[in-house]
């Protein structure tokens, strides 16, 4: 069930409601279909599974579908990062001398393999996992794809911009494409990924400037180093509604991420 206070807040911002106060439906920001209060649910802008707290509203269908198909990749990426830092575990597969076993893996100083609680033949597995000689291969199954992770970041950025700017923002031409990226997985080669430290701004700034100069419509998504932190900052400027001049934009990044912070930017140079 949606937060009634949030519904009232969004309804008051909806221009059609201002013109006709009998209106009781608002557009879902993800599918743009008009929905009543009963058809809406709370939608975390940054998924709750990675620490998100701020909500907006979306229809139940979009919330359920994108939660499992898109948001889950952000959680999977977060779990993978924790795993490689020695926190948490992931499922995987080990192959010893051509024989494969499913295991749970941890990386704390060294590799730790945990076999199923009730293996068919424990002695055989232990002998195979720790052979006196031979070859062992390890395959780790992370629960995310790079494409799905990018779509989750774009979705968070899009909803964040909607929360800041309201319904007029949804009707920008670029956002029809953004919604297709999120819902229909049309993420193509026009998305360019970059990552760098904020203390390298002199060179990075010129690169960003080149991108913005070349792109008639563009989007920028900023992601803090840790996907589960509250430092997920998101903006989707476009030629129709620029948010920052370049110098002000870079100053803002410095102030938010710090001189030694890290960030990742995704540019949509689709024109």
Residue 20 placed within a domain: no
How far apart, in whole angstroms, are the C-alpha atoms of residue 4 and residue 8?
A: 6
Supply the range of the domain harboring residue 122: 88-140
Residue 116 placed within a domain: yes
Residue 103 placed within a domain: yes
CB distance 86 to 108 below 8 Å: yes
Note the pLDDT tens digit of each residue in 177-226: 778 888 887 665 444 444 444 443 333 444 444 444 333 333 444 444 44
Residue 256 placed within a domain: no
Residue 165 placed within a domain: no
Note the pLDDT tens digit of each residue in 104-138: 766 666 666 565 555 555 545 544 455 545 555 66
Residue 212 placed within a domain: no
| Mean pLDDT to the nearest integer, 19-37 | 86
Q: Among residues 262, 232, 234, 256, which one has the least CA distance to residue 51?
A: 232
Residue 174 placed within a domain: no
* pTM of full prediction above 0.85: no
Residue 217 placed within a domain: no
Domain count, the chain: 1
């Amino acid at each position: 069930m949606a937060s009634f206070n949030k519904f009232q807040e969004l309804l008051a911002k909806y221009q059609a409601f201002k013109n006709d106060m009998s209106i009781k439906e608002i557009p879902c920001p993800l599918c743009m279909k008009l929905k009543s209060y009963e058809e809406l649910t709370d939608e975390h802008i940054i998924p709750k599974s990675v620490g998100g707290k701020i909500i907006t509203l979306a229809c139940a269908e979009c919330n359920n579908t994108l939660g499992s198909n898109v948001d889950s990749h952000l959680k999977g990426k977060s779990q993978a990062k924790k795993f490689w830092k020695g926190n948490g575990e992931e499922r995987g597969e080990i192959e010893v001398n051509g024989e494969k076993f499913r295991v749970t893996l941890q990386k704390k100083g060294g590799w730790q393999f945990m076999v199923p609680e009730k293996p068919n033949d424990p002695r055989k597995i232990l002998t195979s996992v720790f052979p006196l000689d031979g070859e062992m291969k390890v395959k780790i199954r992370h629960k995310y794809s790079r494409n799905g992770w990018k779509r989750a970041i774009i979705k968070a950025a899009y909803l964040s911009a909607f929360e800041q700017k309201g319904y007029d923002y949804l009707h920008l031409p670029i956002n029809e494409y953004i919604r297709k990226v999120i819902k229909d997985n049309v993420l193509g080669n026009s998305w360019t990924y970059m990552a760098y430290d904020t203390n390298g701004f002199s060179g990075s700034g010129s690169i960003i400037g080149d991108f913005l100069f070349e792109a008639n419509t563009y989007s920028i998504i900023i992601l803090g180093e840790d996907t589960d932190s509250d430092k997920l900052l998101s903006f989707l400027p476009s030629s129709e509604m620029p948010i920052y001049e370049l110098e002000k934009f870079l100053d803002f990044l410095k102030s938010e991420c710090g001189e030694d912070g890290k960030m990742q930017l995704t540019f949509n140079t689709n024109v």
